[in-house]
Amino acid sequence: MKTGADVNQPPVTQQVAGRDGVGPNGSAVSKYAAAVKLLAAVLGAMLFTAVLLTGVLFIVGRADFWQPFSVATGVSLLAAVLSVVPIVLSLGKGPTSAAVGHFIATGVRVVVSLGGCFLAIRFRDLPAAPTLLLMVPYYFAVLIAESTMLARFIRSAQPPKQAGPESKSV
Does residue 3 or residue 26 have the better pLDDT?
3
Rounded to 5°, the CA angle 86-118-138 comes to: 50
| Alpha-carbon gap, residue 19 to 13, rounded angstroms | 15
- Predicted local distance difference test score (pLDDT) of residue 113: 97
Rounded to 5°, the CA angle 20-26-31 comes to: 50
- Quick one: pLDDT band at residue 160, thresholds 50, 70, 90? low
- Predicted local distance difference test score (pLDDT) of residue 2: 52
- Evaluate if residue 41 carries a pLDDT over 60: yes
